[in-house]
Structure 1
Amino acid sequence: MHPTQFSSGDVIADRRADYARMLAENGEHEAAVELMEQALELVPDWPAGLVRLADYAEKAGLPEKAVPALRRALDLNPEDIFGARLKLALLGAEDVPDQPPSRYVEALFDDYADRFDTALVERLAYTVPAKLARLIADHDARRFENAVDLGCGTGLFGAEIGDRAARLEGFDLSVNMLAKAEEKGLYDLLAKADLSLDPSGSGLFDEGLAQARADLVSAADVLMYLGDLANAFALAARLSKPGALFAFSVEDAGEGEGYLLAPSLRYAHTERHVRQRLAENSFDVLVLTRTTIRMDGGKPVSGILFLASRTG
């Protein structure tokens, strides 16, 4: 169950929230706001309800109701499992954070795991794993001694690269995604890790896992759930042997510097930001290609695929 579907603990409040959801699905967002306000009169400290109120209010063009609801939800849930701070940033009420809340990303993918493969491949025409594997194969025909798949999810990229790796490791923040990956039997090691953290606290070097152990590091459709890529690229550098390849994708933010937060609550990155963070971590760009990485709301999402090499 997605966090915003959590029960309030009050039957009448839940019933009103269900009616509000049906109204919102029919495009009646102002009416949905009124019903959610009635529900919250009964349970004013319901974080999930406050976030739903904010979502309906934003769609109804009522930011004056959305912003206080999100601030209250954040006060009640400092871990921010609902992504309230991201939503506030989109409304212009706060600066865009450098990283999303880890608990928000974890909950998002824990909920998504059971339908992840079907949703991405069949409904969203997701092609990054195959395209990234082809990018690697076109540049380098070697068999990798140890490939590390960051943000491995259910193992879609692992399925593309596994026959070229003597050892394949997968790391993800979501235990439910890791469980799905384990069912496929592709990985020699699967473990939980947080790519947003400083490398020393990420979990990638726990239990005796060595530094500089990988000759291929991948991050397929992962970095859009991070803002500033400094920590993620420092982690990739720490994992990589000299000459290792680093293959990854980002959503394309176009010209300019830095990164931006999209309405999808995913981050898009400029080529300049990516190149800067790569250079800071001793990676040289070998190949860069722009492509459609998935569909979203019936529209193509533009991305950039990178293949870089760790210098000696």
Structure 2
Amino acid sequence: MTKLDNEALAEAYNRALDLEKAGKFDEAAEAYKAVLELDPEDHGGAAVRLASMGKGNAPVKAPDAYVSTLFDQHAEVFDMVLVDQLGYSVPLMVRDKIEKLELGPFKRLLDLGCGTGLSAEALHDLVPHKTGVDIAEGMVEVADEKEVYDDLYVGEVVEFLKVEEEERWDLIAATDVLPYMGELEEFFAGVADNIEANGIFAFSSETLPADVLGEQNFMVGKYHRFAHAESYVRSLLKKSGFTILELSPITVRLEQGEPVPGHLVIAAYKKS
């Protein structure tokens, strides 16, 4: 692996960012391409920013290096920023839907993209055994300090789902995970491989109006997060063996004071 020239990379990235903020998108695109030449692993998310500006195709997912760097930087203040400033309450929405649908009791939770443990805290008394997985080591360290999980792993969630486990989970959650993924086929298939028969899959997604998405299954929105078409989510769940119990429109969070639209989905695994 080539060692990064962090000084040159920071200079190139800041130049690209300044051009983007100035509305000089053609120049910004060339500058972000120069960033990618310096940093092919893309710690700064240049590929995502290119797609957001309409200057590049949406990648199949946000780069792992970008996601881990982004969340490691914000781990210590994550709860305050996400909950208090951005109005994020999806884990509590998941709990509310589970109770209203009278689902459970559950034995084992797998919390994918667990972050600092907000979902485990929201579901703490509904499931006795909890496993958390997150790509950002800093987030996992904060979650570990809360002592809300029985097992914690640092890793990319799709790769984690490929590991053969002795036991499956009867509740799998993925709140605020899909906005960092484009293609979902492999992810949903991995969830299906790791969930018990009749197990519950609870997750959130972000979306955009149909006239913006057009025929696309997903795209990168203006806040550099992936938005998915409802039709894409529905068709993939069916293909992966899930029956949708609830698919509700929600406000996922606020971004610069604007509500971010999305869906809250509760699905049961019915495939034999």
TM over 0.5: yes
Tell me, in whole angstroms, the C-alpha distance in 2 between the residues paired with 1:135 and 1:153.
21
Tell me, in whole angstroms, the C-alpha distance in 2 between the residues paired with 1:7 and 1:173.
22
2:115 corresponds in structure 1 to: 153
Tell me, in whole angstroms, the C-alpha distance in 2 between the residues paired with 1:205 and 1:180.
25
Of residues 194, 205, 221, the one that matches 2:176 is 221
Tell me, in whole angstroms, the C-alpha distance in 2 between the residues paired with 1:142 and 1:190.
23
Q: Structure 1 residues 205 and 169 mapped into 2: Cα distance closer, same or farther (>3 Å)?
A: farther
Q: Percent identity?
A: 35
State how 1:110-259 maps to structure 2 within 5 Å. Answer: 110-195=72-157, 197=158, 202-204=159-161, 206=163, 209-210=165-166, 213-255=168-210, 256=214, 257-259=216-218
Shift of 1:141: 4.1
Tell me, in whole angstroms, the C-alpha distance in 1 between the residues paired with 2:233 and 2:26.
36
Moved more, 223-232 or 89-98: 89-98
Letter in 2 for 1:303: G
Letter in 1 for 2:228: H
2:216 counterpart of 1:261? no
> Where do 4+ consecutive residues of structure 1 move more than 3 Å?
none
C-alpha RMSD of the superposition: 1.6
Q: Deviations for 1:148-199, whole angstroms, at most 9, x for unmatched residues?
A: 111110000100112111211111111110011111111110002212x4xx
Tell me, in whole angstroms, the C-alpha distance in 2 between the residues paired with 1:92 and 1:302.
20
Tell me, in whole angstroms, the C-alpha distance in 2 between the residues paired with 1:150 and 1:94.
28
2:233 corresponds in structure 1 to: 274
SS of aligned partner of 1:273: helix
1:192 and 1:203 in contact (8 A); partners too: no
Task: Say how many residue pairs are matched.
Answer: 263
Q: Deviations for 1:23-43, whole angstroms, at most 9, x for unmatched residues?
A: xxxxxxxxxxxxxxxxxxxxx
SS of aligned partner of 1:163: coil
Letter in 1 for 2:173: S
SS of aligned partner of 2:94: helix
State how 1:8-23 maps to structure 2 within 5 Å. Answer: 8=7
SS of aligned partner of 1:243: strand
Shift of 1:90: 2.4
Q: Calculate the TM-score normalised by the size of structure 2.
A: 0.92
1:36 corresponds in structure 2 to: none
1:289 and 1:304 in contact (8 A); partners too: yes
Q: Calculate the TM-score normalised by the size of structure 1.
A: 0.80
2:18 counterpart of 1:56? yes
SS of aligned partner of 2:116: coil
1:251 and 1:302 in contact (8 A); partners too: yes
Letter in 2 for 1:308: A
Tell me, in whole angstroms, the C-alpha distance in 1 between the residues paired with 2:253 and 2:34.
34
Unaligned residue ranges in structure 2 (runs of 5+): none
More relative contact order in 1 or in 2 (CA 8 Å, sep 6+)?
Answer: 2
Q: Deviations for 1:191-215, whole angstroms, at most 9, x for unmatched residues?
A: 02212x4xxxx12465x6336x111
Tell me, in whole angstroms, the C-alpha distance in 1 between the residues paired with 2:131 and 2:26.
47
Tell me, in whole angstroms, the C-alpha distance in 1 between the residues paired with 2:118 and 2:246.
22
Tell me, in whole angstroms, the C-alpha distance in 1 between the residues paired with 2:116 and 2:188.
22
Which of the pair has more CA radius of gyration?
Answer: 1
Letter in 2 for 1:158: A
2:256 counterpart of 1:303? no
